[in-house]
Amino acid sequence: MNQQLKKLAVLLVSKKKDHTCLPYMQQIRNQFPQHTYLIDEEYKNEPVDVVITIGGDGTILHASRMFQQIQTPPFVTFGKGTLGFMCIYSLRNQYEVLKNLQSPYNIELKKRIQGSLNGQYVYTALNDFFITKGNSIHVVCLDIYVNDTFVTQARGDGLIISTPTGSTAYCLSAGGPLIQNRVPCIALVPICPLSLSFRPLILPLDVKISIKMNANSRGEGVVICDGQVQYDFKRNDCFDITPSKNDVRFVVPPGHQDLDWVIKLQRMLNWNSRFQQPRD
């Protein structure tokens, strides 16, 4: 993305309500003035060559939301959020990253899943869908089907349906497994189940999962999609989850390997770190 490269349409997406991102966005405009820039508030589905995000994982989820049911442009993700597990680059290296950015890009694909409520498409999620009791004081009763075959009934505060990417988010907090990005699967993770034997379940990515609110459920709830939007989920409603053909494409540096994911677990999540008593 230097002066010799062709003119690009660049979509800039920054962390919401964080005005400290604005100088970085302006800096990109000044450093690479040959390109056309759009910001997320102004975006109206125009063709885009590259998406640059400045923020954390929530910013990336917001950017993913802007490309529902279509293939995303390449995402260049700079970390400036609370955690930023999905963020690839540091803002300290902003100029060098963008200067050397050119097609064909080194791409890492992240799978998405799509959800339909009572037969109507509602959302394509990068992280997860979760069905919760919302503001109700009662637990929800959810019937789980895989490829239209009844599997089990979940009673509790809800259920998370997660991609491998989402396994380091709410899924992890609820006791779900850590899943490397290239493993093609979906995780079903109960939220505070009324059973000691309901453990997280890993299913192949290509199955259809159907979650039905049991007609006798005391409580009703909501379906929350990537923490971005939510829909009421009432008795006898059915939410279907199937794999999406439209991945999110992340631009990664040359030499990026699966080992980088393990390093992030160690550095960001302090995975398997030992508790130590403070020394006097």
- Side-chain-side CA neighbours of residue 22 (13 Å): 5
Report whether 67 contacts 246 (CB < 8 A): yes
Task: Provide the residue type at 243 as one letter.
Answer: P
Beta-bridge partner residues of 243: 113
Structure tokens, 162: 């997660």
DSSP 95: H
| Entry field: residues in the chain | 280
Pairing of strands 149-162, 140-146: antiparallel
CA 255/CA 89 separation, integer angstroms: 14
Q: Is 57 among the catalytic positions?
A: yes
Question: Among 18, 40, 49, 57, which one carries the catalytic annotation?
Answer: 57
Burial class (CB in 10 A: 0-12, 13-18, 19+), 58: buried
CA 115/CA 45 separation, integer angstroms: 21
Task: Provide the residue type at 1 as one letter.
Answer: M
The per-type count for the chain, helices as H runs and strands as E runs, is: 5, 18
Residues classed as catalytic:
57
